[in-house]
Chain A
């Protein structure tokens, strides 16, 4: 028992973080340059959506893929972020950047509200409950007309983003490209490199892989599951806020089936719980969806086929395909 001070090195104690951060930010830098090179504003628009989706899907991956909680209320957090930020900037006159920050707080509150009943439930019942919350929200928003939620038509004329006195209109796709990339990159970095590679990440994985064992080695299940909901909701609400100020319109359609299914498809194709699977899924699905636009009516069919093929041949998603093969067992 020689070296008594030695400890275990792992990615959860910061090993290799410098190197992978470098790669990450180099890629982000590459994307930033790409924005300048892409001349077409429609293509930029697609990338802006990709960056916003990345935040949503990374947050969903955090709770569903890493913490193993069957939360299907992800777009609820998104909707509250979008509506919260929109209403705060329209009615309270908050500058959009501040409104997005406030939306994050709204998200945290909603995260707690959804979490508390969910934490009393097990496994698939969490899925039922959270999806019920998702389904219950559109009628609530319609009733919310009285408090200025705009009912079915939604909220129009949401103020443009104001960056240090500079108004960013929705038409200014290049600035928006960089703004959404910056938000997306920071959120994704915080989620995958800071939160999930720290204590919280290890707690999530422990609860997902071996719930009882995790409790036995001291993981406070209630605390970490609550944190999973809150963290996931905060980031998703930020994404909702950015989305609201980018499109300057929010309608109950953000809770529509198409959005929800797209998000599911991104996670299924990308693969959950293994970075960068979910992010790769966002790029693949959004860009693939655009490339398939010429197929018109067959687009959804082709997307469906893509999901089926992925699920059958790459059950762990795109990320799983690149997983190193386990070495042959030595006898």
Chain B
């Protein structure tokens, strides 16, 4: 079958995205310093250590319960910087607008970007706007880039997972993906599920107090918790065991997932983080999370059981065991 074209699945954040990155993008760009494994690049400039990250937002619909493409674009980049242990400072914004897009909706999106920036304590410092003819884009696409500063000597990234580490998630999983899915035309489900889109820099600042007991931070966005953990397992060369029972999932998310045949482990989050913490400090980390407004539903969901392999096993709610893989293609609804 023809393999020479880009498919929607290449943007899913799952296996196809990794293939595109490893087989097409990095071979051309890695000699320029691109590494592609973490949420942001770390840069040494003079005596300062900076984190630099970029992300584009093409969510459909652009308005959904609890948020819109604007606050999502600010929070997403704030969180990518935060996952490197950096303090986000400056954000750039670029818009691609479709001819005919409503100015009123644009203003609403801008206002929510402003509110998100204020809430995260970052400045929107530069930007760009382009307009393309009707039908050449879908209403509005946004790119944000951001710069943050590392104010500590810790090494926190996806390659630092160690045997014994306890794995924490900062709250319920799958809320964002289900909120967006339910807002899509034609689904007609009233669930009360809202996006979890939120800045995580405040929570990360608290967690940095754990010092070198904090090994990995990652926000499980596209591809969900399963895909993100698989990436970390491969990057750190570790094996992970999860407890399904411990996964915090909202009632509404569980319901929609049951109806549509989706697995919350693979559904996107926009305001949650995964943390790998040394075992003797895990309870303390849990306490820090639960005391913070962004982490009140936090839970310890598993641990690093051995080195090597990148394999993830999950003890199911009924006591069986199953493997956990990366997201394949797009999440698809069931047929019967």
A-B complex is real: no
User: B: which residues have CB within 8 A of A?
Assistant: none
